[in-house]
Amino acid sequence: MATQLTHFQVSNDALDDGPELRRRIADDGYLFIRQLLDPQRLGDLRLHMLEVLRAGGWLRTGSPLNDGVADVAKKCAEGDPEYIAVYKNIQQLEAFHRLPHDPTIISVMEKIVGETVLPHPSKVARLWFPQNTLHTTPAHQDFVHFQGAYDTYTCWTPVGDCPLALGPLAVLVGSHKSGEVFDHHFALGAGGLAVDTGTLTGTWASTDFASGDALIFPSRTVHQALPNVTPDRLRLSLDNRYQARSQPIAAHQLLPHLNRASGQTWDDIYPHWQATDLQYYWKNLNLTVLPSDTTRQDRGFAEALELARQGNEVARPFLVRVVGRDPASPQATAAREALAALDAWANGPRHLSGAPGR
């Protein structure tokens, strides 16, 4: 990331002006809106989420719930089995699925896409530990993960205040403009794929977020998280996706987030809810559903294996995670072999032919 970080332009003045919102997002690749969401509603969701984290043992014993003070001994990252175990309980929260349907967000999204909007059924929370900056979300374009239509928009919002030190999202201003989906390569952090920002020009922008502030960007804007450099605070956030209902959506966006790792289905989630109006709300909408494409994810996995075989430590936490998640899977077998090769390098590269320094 460039050392220079500018502050977002605030777009509250244009909230009622669809053409102006579209012009700004087309120019800059993002919209930043202060207090789009009711902080009280987010505050309630925050407490529900923190209760789940406390039950999962993630919070420091005796600390005030709302402070979100982590027990750093429990730190884990998205995709780790310990993370998935707690995340499944977040996914069961009805308020977590309801908030992204808030009329104020829908109304802004409708102005941006110019027609009836579809909030993606897959709803996403991020629960980022402090002292875990190796796993900060790397620079990427959302299209590689969410696919479907290019005109899919992410709305990122912290659940609670998120000053720069807690690691909010940053965007590379104007990076959507080439229209390209850039090459992505294996990296740690959410999504596991990063774009090489060395080849991109532009200015990074972010800001201190207050609870209720929202960042909206289209699927080809390059963005990343800033590191959570607080000593002990968890960063909680939501990132949900929206598109015109008439546009195609990828099949995996109709399933619970991280279901491939968690095995969680909607039928596991819905029994915990009071209301039924948002259950399977997309079923009768006659959507165009595209098959999911895992080519980039498969290539990232192959790169991680290759890095380990070459003695590069960077992929170790990822490969350990793959083994821990489903030890009987073919991916776990490949990951175990690559980890054995990595251990051989670590324990005595001098004894291996072709080792560095020979």
Q: Which residues bind Fe ion (CB under 5 A)?
A: 142
Report 101-120 residues binding ligand AKG (CB under 6 A): none
Residue nearest to Fe ion (CB): 142
Asked if 137 is part of the footprint of ligand AKG (rule: CB under 6 A), the reply reads: yes
Give whichever of 78 and 142 is closer to Fe ion, judged by the CB atom. Answer: 142
Report 210-249 residues binding ligand AKG (CB under 6 A): 223, 225, 237, 239
Q: Which helix (H) or strand (E) holds 94?
A: helix 94-98
- 190 touches, from ligand AKG, Fe ion, none (C-beta below 5 to 8 Å by class): ligand AKG
CB of 140 vs Fe ion, minimal distance in Å:
6
Residue whose entry in the numeric block shows the structure tokens 């990427």 = 140
In whole angstroms, what is the distance from residue 53 CA to residue 67 CA? 12
Closest CA to 162 of 107, 222, 237: 237
CB neighbour burial string for 195-211, b if at least 16 within 10 angstroms, e if fewer:
bebeeeeeebbbbebeb
CB of 231 vs ligand AKG, minimal distance in Å:
19
Asked if 80 is part of the footprint of ligand AKG (rule: CB under 6 A), the reply reads: no
CA angle 23, 4, 127 (to 5 degrees): 80
Rama region for 175: left / alpha / beta (φ>0; ψ in -120 to 50; rest): alpha
Give whichever of 132 and 237 is closer to ligand AKG, judged by the CB atom. Answer: 237
In whole angstroms, what is the distance from residue 357 CA to residue 319 CA? 26
Asked if 154 is part of the footprint of ligand AKG (rule: CB under 6 A), the reply reads: yes
CB of 13 vs ligand AKG, minimal distance in Å:
24
Residues 6+ apart with CB under 8 A from 23: none
Report 31-60 residues binding ligand AKG (CB under 6 A): none
CB of 137 vs ligand AKG, minimal distance in Å:
3
CB of 62 vs ligand AKG, minimal distance in Å:
28
